[in-house]
């Protein structure tokens, strides 16, 4: 389980400008500057299938901000494990959470050397936030990491974040990877997942598959769209939090998970193709 052969882009790429990096492609999609031409080439390839891909990236990012705020403010979570944190950008997990409670502890996990360098520089003066060097597709390695063991208390609820990560894992055992994360979590913990989403609507599924082909054939080499039922397999035995008052517990587009205000404009295709689920461990 967690064989790196199932996640080619999880292999650290360092600062090689001739190899695309998941973190740098995402940075480019958010309009950041920590990326190379090869990363922008991947983004351009994805745009051929979904021109509004930047809206997808921002929908995902804004979901992260809202869910961290919910967990810290409403659910009382005081410690977070953020897997695949990527390059620092505006409103990182620790900034959102510690604005609510400066004592909240956050451990980021990544194994991209550029991410680690940026992260350690950003966190140098923050005594409640750390970044662990580990492969997020090897849950046992993550949980055994000295920073995770030292700074997270598994006797108290934890907020586990897998935001825009598991869709880069290509193995059919993706649910087993997530189960290995979920099983050790204490009661009262929450798991938040966002993922490239196939809503099983013909025209949207066609776009999803075109985007998938563009990503798999690109220098990044990963990016899989999964259905709502497949994404729900990633939160086994957990209580799914409805995405709005009176709504059913289901996977929805990230932009629809408790938005900050009324949804006055319809979502474009790209926004509808990144889904999320938030669930509590009984």
Question: Which helix (H) or strand (E) segment is 239 a member of?
Answer: strand 239-240
DSSP code per residue over 171-234? STTHHHHHHHHHTTSPTT-EEEEEEEEE---HHHHHHHHHHHHHHHTSSS-----EEHHHHHTT
Does 67 or 125 have the greater pLDDT score?
A: 67
Question: Of 234, 223, 245, 227, nearest to 278 (Cα)?
Answer: 234
Specify the residue for token string 């509004």.
52
User: What is the β-pairing status of strands 226-227 and 105-110?
Assistant: unpaired
Q: Two tokens at 36?
A: 């190379």
* Average of per-residue pLDDT across 138-158: 98
Question: Which helix (H) or strand (E) segment is 83 a member of?
Answer: strand 79-83
Residue pair 112/13 in contact by the 8 Å Cβ criterion: yes
pLDDT in the model for residue 51: 94
Q: List all residues 6 or more positions away from 8 whose beta carbon is below 8 Å from its beta carbon.
A: 170, 221, 222
* Cα–Cα distance, 138 to 122 (Å, whole number): 25
CB-CB neighbours of 113 under 10 Å? 15
* Cα–Cα distance, 102 to 94 (Å, whole number): 9
Report the percent of the chain where pLDDT is more than 90: 76
Q: List all residues 6 or more positions away from 248 whose beta carbon is below 8 Å from its beta carbon.
A: 242
* Average of per-residue pLDDT across 85-97: 86
* Cα–Cα distance, 37 to 25 (Å, whole number): 10
User: What is the β-pairing status of strands 190-198 and 274-280?
Assistant: antiparallel
**Strand, coil or helix: 118:** helix
pLDDT in the model for residue 15: 61
pLDDT in the model for residue 5: 45
pLDDT for 32 beyond 70: yes
* Cα–Cα distance, 134 to 68 (Å, whole number): 22
**What's the whole-model pTM score?**
0.92
pLDDT in the model for residue 4: 44
Which of 102-116, 151-165, 199-213 is least confident? 102-116
């Amino acid at each position: 389980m967690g064989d790196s052969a199932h996640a080619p882009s999880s292999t650290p790429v360092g600062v090689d400008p001739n190899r695309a990096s998941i973190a740098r492609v995402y940075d480019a999609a958010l309009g950041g500057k920590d990326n190379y031409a090869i990363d922008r080439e991947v983004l351009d390839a994805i745009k051929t299938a979904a021109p509004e891909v930047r809206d997808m990236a921002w929908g995902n990012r804004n979901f992260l901000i809202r869910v961290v705020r919910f967990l810290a403010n409403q659910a009382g979570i005081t410690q977070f494990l953020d897997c695949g944190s990527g390059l620092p950008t505006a409103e990182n997990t620790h900034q959102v959470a510690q604005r609510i409670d400066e004592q909240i502890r956050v451990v980021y996990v990544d194994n991209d050397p550029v991410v680690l360098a940026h992260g350690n520089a950003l966190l140098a003066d923050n005594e409640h936030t750390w970044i662990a060097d580990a492969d997020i597709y090897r849950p046992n390695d993550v949980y055994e990491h000295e920073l995770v063991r030292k700074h997270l208390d598994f006797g108290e609820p934890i907020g586990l974040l897998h935001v825009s990560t598991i869709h880069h894992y290509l193995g059919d055992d993706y649910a087993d990877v997530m189960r290995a994360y979920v099983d050790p979590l204490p009661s009262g913990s929450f798991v938040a997942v966002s993922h490239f989403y196939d809503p099983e609507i013909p025209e949207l599924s066609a776009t999803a598959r075109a985007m998938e082909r563009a990503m798999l054939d690109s220098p990044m080499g990963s990016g899989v769209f999964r259905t709502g039922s497949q994404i729900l397999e990633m939160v086994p035995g957990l209580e799914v939090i409805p995405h709005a008052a009176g709504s059913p517990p289901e996977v929805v587009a990230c932009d629809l998970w408790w938005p900050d205000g009324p949804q006055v404009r319809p979502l474009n295709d790209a926004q509808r193709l990144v889904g999320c689920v938030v669930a509590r461990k009984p």
